[in-house]
Structure 1
Amino acid sequence: MRSSLMITAAIVTAMAASTASAQTLKLGFMAPLSGPSATAGQEMKRGLDIALEKFNNRIGGLETKVVIADDKGQPDNAAQEITRLIDREHIDVLSGLGLTNVMLAVTAPAVKANVIVLASHAGTGNYAGKGCNPNIFLTGFLNDIFGITMGDWLNKRGIKRLYIMGLDFQAGWDIYDSLQSTYKGQVVGKALTPFTQVDFAPELAQVRAVKPDALFAFYFGASGVAFPKQYAQSGLKDQVPLYSVMAMSNSMLIRGQGDAGYGVISNSVWNAQIGNPSNKDFVTRFRAKYGREPTSYSSMMFDSMLLLDAALRTGVDPANRAALRNAIKTVKFPSIRGDVHFAPNQVLQQGMVIQESMKDANGQFMLKPLGTVTAPIDKYAKDCNMK
């Protein structure tokens, strides 16, 4: 009898181990891999690749199948791609999401299909308040925090007259509106431009005419290269200080911007100089593979995978969405950003860095931290009734 019980126990143990090893994570990754914002999407993919290499293609210790979707920066295309990811690929988790307008197009069908959404670089407040949902996690940031903290910084710098320029889309609107909510000076002009525009001569002429104390600009991708160059060529760089956000000031765009990209003050949720072990490991891996410093795009994607890995290593099955949601929300993970946590509306809470683009002692690009700021209060959280 004892022998029989031992054999039965061995069989049960083997079956359990077999079941665990058979679990597969089906990870969808959506980003603008082509089109005007392709540089951002491709950089996000690099962050994902570094994470996959770190975990030997086994996020959470599970066999990981990654399904790539190029949204091309277009909501219509994103809607088609999310249908493919859900109906044909049967993904467990949707990651990436570099553009807010794309996120708005894909979250409803993802949630309806009970897919977990980890938005690493799209941070609209639509999903932080009344539109919050148990399946949606803003693992990167909330757009508003860039405007709020930049407005405060400009006040401290004594900027009385400000001109605003940037891309004309949801994330931009969130940033411009939140900037104006804290900035106490006068906004003397605003010019919003489409993604396809890369000639800013008319807008820069307007800036020159009103003579502001500073210019705040939000561009990335192709426009993020073109704008600083034309700003410098116009002669404004020596007259009007340029402020921006992390998307326009990074090691990727500086290659196209040249010297025009130096001297820009921006704010970020991450910096390569953060000294914790996770960040040091990430920066080392990235530099070894790509020969430069990572960017916010790659860092936020990598950090999202650190979170997912930690959640899955608690032993949850990706197919058990309720358990996976709870693990993601509560697990302590070694974030490259340091001490972070989710608020009840599932927006990641974190500090921010004010930084300036400059050359280091070896003449290489770096973002020198000028100071840190406390994460602003999430104004949307009070309207979130998570069920």
Structure 2
Amino acid sequence: MKLMKINALAGLLLTVTCAAALAEEVKIGMITTLSGPAGYLGQDVRDGFMLAIAEEGGMLGGVKVEVLVEDDGLKPENGRAIAERFLERDEVEIMTGVIFSNISPVVAPLTLRAGRFYITPNSAPSQFAGKNCHENYFAVAWQNDSLHESAGLNASAQGYGNAFVLAPNYQAGKDAIAGFKRYFEGEIVGEVYTQLGQTDYAAEIARIRAADPEMVFQFLPGGMGINFAKQYDQAGMNEEVPMVLAAPSSDINILRAVGESMVGVSSSSHWNHDLDNDANRAFLAGFEAEYGRSPTVYASQGYDTAKLIASALMKTGGKVTADMDGFRAALKAADFDSVRGAFAFNTNNHPIQNWYARVVVERDGEFVNETTGVIAENHADAYATECALN
């Protein structure tokens, strides 16, 4: 595992007039997935996060920060070892970055028991949203189920009477199918759980064909989604059974890799490139200028996570564990301009936000998601009422 210690002070002016900048440097630990077919998810979270720091000349909220980044390799045992090292040796005050929900149930409890803040830019499994919610746990992207609840709403709005659903056999996959089924009004004619990291979907595609559904919902992010979509098209299934997806199964990298056969595929997301707000326009321009590529949804979430942290550090003058109540209240206020537009935390520290319908189109030789409307306004997850926080 390669450790990248990114000192975010590079290029900082020697004379700093902002009082917050006089605070002690804040250490942030980022455990994320940087290698393998899913590596681009973590790379984009990291790059979006670091872009926000670069915009402040090496600070967040006017406070000097140091970000320690390490690859978990999609292995829980790696996540545990890195988290213990970050917490005990490096004394990070904030933990972030986790992509997959086989890692977060290991890293989050370690962080919370150590009295630090866990702020996730992606993975948000159901067990941390309800009865086991925690005052120092904040989910910036979504609660896992709600991401796929939007797909269920979208499929129902399109009038589908039944669906075949599949997802990897781990917590996020279970949350995905639970979320889709919660709001899909039709019948489920097939339900399959695949292996996490699976590459061959011939057996699953055969089962879909045999079930003869009206549509398919699949949650297969990263390389899994690329492989499935290619094989689905090669089997001639795109013309027979359309897919209705959530954002991770239709991100811009998947569209590029799969190509023309994705045109017309329907999906839902809390963010898209064409959302019309100042923060999103600045983010897109900055990301493309800094990295020479278009950001995925994961980059937008990394960026928003850093902006949230910046807003809290600004209010506390750089204090994190030295002012737990103050920093927590500042996070809860979510006083920043999200690239998604309106954003607020629910009582369980998970987002209340809009969800949008999208369709894949070809524009100027590129395949992109085009926003077609709002699926749900100010949507909250299903577990908030079980959380004792307020």
Task: Work out whether residues 82 and 106 of structure 1, in 8 Å CA contact, stay in contact via their aligned partners in 2.
Answer: yes
Give, as a single letter, the amino acid of the residue that structure 2 aligns with 1:349. Answer: I
Deviations 1:77-114 (A, max 9, x none): 11111001101111011111111221111111101111
Aligned to 1:180: 181
User: Post-superposition shift, 1:136?
Assistant: 0.3
Percent identical across equivalent pairs?
29
Q: 1:181 to 1:22 in 2, by over 3 A?
A: closer
Q: In 2, are the aligned partners of 1:36 and 1:195 still within 8 Å (CA)?
A: no
Once the 2 structures are TM-superposed, how far is the Cα of residue 116 of structure 1 from its aligned partner?
0.7
Q: Corresponding residue for 1:333?
A: 336
Deviations 1:255-292 (A, max 9, x none): 32222333221111111111111110001112223344
Corresponding residue for 2:12?
A: none
| Cα distance, 1:34 vs structure 2 | 1.7
Contact 1:271–1:367, Cα closer than 8 Å, also in 2? yes
Instruction: Say if 2:382 is the partner of 1:379.
Output: yes
The reply on whether 1:272 has 2:302 as its aligned counterpart is no
Across the aligned residues of Structure 1 and Structure 2, the Cα RMSD in angstroms comes to 1.9
> Counterpart of 2:145?
144
Residues 180-199 of structure 1 mapped to structure 2, 5 A cutoff: 180-199=181-200
Q: Partners in 2 of 1:334 and 1:376 — Cα distance? A: 18
Q: Given the two structures, how large is their TM-score scaled by the length of structure 1?
A: 0.91
The one of 326, 344, 347 equivalent to 1:344 is 347
User: Residue 285 and residue 20 in structure 1: after superposition, are their counterparts in 2 closer, same or farther (change >3 A)?
Assistant: closer
Partner of 2:28: 27
Kindly report which structure 2 residues correspond to 1:318-329, keeping only aligned pairs within 5 A, or say none: 318-320=320-322, 321-329=324-332
Matched residues, number = 372
More deviation in 273-282 or 147-156? 147-156
Return the alpha-carbon distance in structure 2 between the equivalents of residues 55 and 194 of structure 1. 42
User: Hey, what's the Cα distance between the residues in 2 that align with 1:291 and 1:20?
Assistant: 30
Say if 1:20 and 1:242 are closer, same or farther in 2 by CA, change over 3 A. closer
How far apart in 2 are the matches of 1:243 and 1:367? Answer: 13
Give the structure with higher Rg (CA). Answer: 1
* Contact in 2 for aligned 1:267/1:352 (Cα 8 Å): yes
Check the 8 A contact 2:94/2:116 in 1, yes or no: yes
Residue 370 of structure 2 is matched in structure 1 by 368
The structural deviation recorded for 1:18 is 8.3
Q: 1:42–1:316: structure 2 CA closer, same or farther, 3 Å change rule?
A: closer
| Displacement of 1:19 | 8.8
Q: 1:110·1:116 contact (CA, 8 Å) conserved in 2? A: yes
- Give the secondary-structure state (helix, strand or coil) at the position aligned to 1:64: strand
The whole-number CA distance in structure 2 between the counterparts of 1:371 and 1:89 is 46
How far apart, CA to CA, are the structure 2 residues paired with 1:198 and 1:333? 39
Structure 2 CA distance for partners of 1:317 and 1:239, relative to 1, 3 Å:
same
SS of 1:100 mapped into structure 2: coil
Q: Which has the higher helix share?
A: 1
Q: Which amino acid aligns with 2:333?
A: T
Deviation for aligned residue 1:316: 4.5
**What letter is aligned with 1:371?**
G
Deviation at 1:322, TM superposition (A): 2.2
Show structure 1 runs of 5+ residues with no match: 1-15
